Chains A and B, each alone.
Chain A
Amino acid sequence: MASSSKTFFSEAGAMTRFAGVFFQQAFKPRYEFRAFIKQCYIIGYQSLPLVGITGFIMGLVLTMQLRPSMVDYGVEAQIPAVIGLAIIREIGPVITGLIFAGKIGSSIGAELGSMRVTEQIDAMEVSGTNPYKYLIVTRVAATTLMLPVLVILSDAISLYGAYLGVNIRAVTSPSLFITQVFDVLDYSDVLPAIFKTFFFGFAVGMIGSFKGYNSKKGTEGVGRSANSAVVLASLAIFVIDLIVVQITEIMGIN
């Protein structure tokens, strides 16, 4: 018990230190711009199909699930507003974040883990490259900046799914749907929701990188890195979500 809590705290401390190095390295030349763009492409663009499909299904299913109760209460006309709020405020960021953690957290963990195990990270260092900068800073910066973009696109796709969901049993024009959704939306709904996704992205990139970079020898170590990266990143998303909602509550912009 004592030793497991000791490893927990030492892990937490090591991760904090690891994240601290990011801020130390990220703003110092040389800037690995090309590697960053490449990571943005892999992390952002190539995640879009997965995120888009899950977002679409989420919007559609949520609408279909919610409809019976809304009809029972006689507020069928409120479906777009309710779905819109749910998607923009919570479902979009969190579901996209979780999918992102599953895809990107594990791939960063596995990739860096295997690079560590096969000495590629050492090889980079020997080749006059700061591996932290070349591998970690680029990836974490890419996850931090790409997840918000993915969330916005996923929100839009989810709303399209919800629109189709509404149209299964009723007829709504796109413009009425949009009016109904945006009638209830406020800056205080959109901005904190987008704001928190930067933290989600940072957490996913940082945890994946930490787990991979400090991978233990052997293929088993790589697998464990990838696995624990996903688990921890998913947990981090919920914790950050909780913290952000508490902060917005305190600031009175919830």
Chain B
Amino acid sequence: METSATYIPGESPVISINGLSKAFGTHVVLDDFSLQLERGQTKVVLGRSGSGKSVLIKCIIGLLPPDAGEIIVLGNDIIHLGHDELDEVRVKIGFLFQSNALYDSMTIRENLEFPMRRHTVGISDKEAESRIIEVLTDVGLEHTIDMMPSELSGGMQKRIALARTLILRPEIILYDEPTTGLDPVTGREITSLIKSIQRQYNTSAIIISHDMKCVKAAADSVAILINGKCYTENTYQALKQSDDPQVKQFFE
């Protein structure tokens, strides 16, 4: 693969998006969008509701096919991968869904087992069990292992979802509005949990959010998505001092 040859682990960006376009019917969501994510970096993509932030990360993980552009993740051209190769890349990407997406017909244990069992990554039963305990300890919910998702509060569900994202030890985690729908206190907890996990597992991350507290706490760099384009990209502090009204509206 052409792109694989130029990919140097540790030096090239883990995610490189160039000229990405996506429209639903006549409604243009992404229009010539470009973004780079460096190793170990946590980048927040800021944008208004319905501006296509979720579409962006769903394109990255191959859930939605873009209309044009290229997405290179860890040296793989996501758009043109076959099903099996795509799955291989997906093992290295964690995805935290906005609605948690815990399987409500399964216990917490089965929820956490699911990615390990499904991906053919060769994890033994014993290791799987120890990993489940490990990630549950990381999110502080060891006691819920045999409970059903419906028995947990929203914040706890978010933690379990995060634990499930971590269980395959991904190199990249994509967070889809991790604090939306949570009360401010729980939102702060989740934010600090994300931060500590980023440090502990040394992952790169893209966080989709419009929660400025979360953005401020977690972001190394902030990209602002306006009209389907990457309007500007800078650190939180730099953007906060910007005079551009388009940027300023997010910080008010």
Contact between A and B in the complex (any CB pair below 8 Å): yes
Residue ranges of A at the interface with B (Cβ–Cβ < 8 Å): 111, 114-115, 117-120, 122-130
Whether A127 contacts B63 by the Cβ 8 Å rule is: no
Instruction: Note all chain A residues with C-beta closer than 8 A to B240.
Output: none
Instruction: Note all chain B residues with C-beta closer than 8 A to A128.
Output: 87, 90-91, 115, 118-120
In the assembled complex, the CB of A21 is this many whole angstroms from the nearest CB of chain B, namely: 14
**Secondary structure of the A contact surface, majority rule:** helix
Whether A127 contacts B104 by the Cβ 8 Å rule is: no
Whether A119 contacts B97 by the Cβ 8 Å rule is: yes
- Docked Cα-Cα span, A114 to B150, in Å, equals 13
- Docked Cα-Cα span, A122 to B61, in Å, equals 10
Whether A123 contacts B101 by the Cβ 8 Å rule is: yes
- Docked Cα-Cα span, A129 to B86, in Å, equals 11
- Docked Cα-Cα span, A223 to B90, in Å, equals 32
6 nearest A-B pairs in the assembled complex, by CB-CB distance? A123-B101, A128-B119, A119-B101, A127-B115, A119-B97, A128-B118
In the assembled complex, the CB of B92 is this many whole angstroms from the nearest CB of chain A, namely: 11
Instruction: Note all chain A residues with C-beta closer than 8 A to B34.
Output: none
Q: How large is the interface on B (under 10, 10 to 19, 20 to 34, 35 or more residues)?
A: 20 to 34
Minimum CB distance partner of B93 in chain A: A126
In the assembled complex, the CB of A46 is this many whole angstroms from the nearest CB of chain B, namely: 13
Instruction: Note all chain B residues with C-beta closer than 8 A to A127.
Output: 90, 114-115, 118-119
- Docked Cα-Cα span, A111 to B105, in Å, equals 9
**Residue from A115, A118, A122 in contact with B58 in the complex, judged by beta carbons closer than 8 Å:** A122
**Secondary structure of the B contact surface, majority rule:** loop
For the A-B complex with A122-B58, A123-B95, A126-B90 known, give 14 more contacts whose Cβ atoms are closer than 8 Å.
A111-B105, A118-B97, A118-B100, A119-B97, A119-B99, A120-B101, A120-B104, A122-B101, A125-B63, A126-B95, A127-B118, A128-B91, A128-B119, A130-B83
Minimum CB distance partner of B96 in chain A: A123
- Docked Cα-Cα span, A123 to B112, in Å, equals 12
Residue ranges of B at the interface with A (Cβ–Cβ < 8 Å): 58, 61, 63, 83, 87, 90-91, 93, 95, 97-105, 114-115, 118-120
- Docked Cα-Cα span, A159 to B22, in Å, equals 60
With contact pairs A127-B114, A127-B115, A128-B91 given, residues A118 and B120 touching in the complex (Cβ less than 8 Å)? no
Instruction: Note all chain A residues with C-beta closer than 8 A to B87.
Output: 128
**Residue from A120, A122, A125, A129 in contact with B102 in the complex, judged by beta carbons closer than 8 Å:** A120
* Most chain B beta-carbon neighbours within 10 Å: one of A114, A118, A126: A126
- Docked Cα-Cα span, A124 to B105, in Å, equals 13
Instruction: Note all chain B residues with C-beta closer than 8 A to A126.
Output: 61, 63, 90, 93, 95
- Docked Cα-Cα span, A28 to B91, in Å, equals 23
- Docked Cα-Cα span, A30 to B104, in Å, equals 24
- Docked Cα-Cα span, A114 to B58, in Å, equals 19
In the assembled complex, the CB of A57 is this many whole angstroms from the nearest CB of chain B, namely: 31
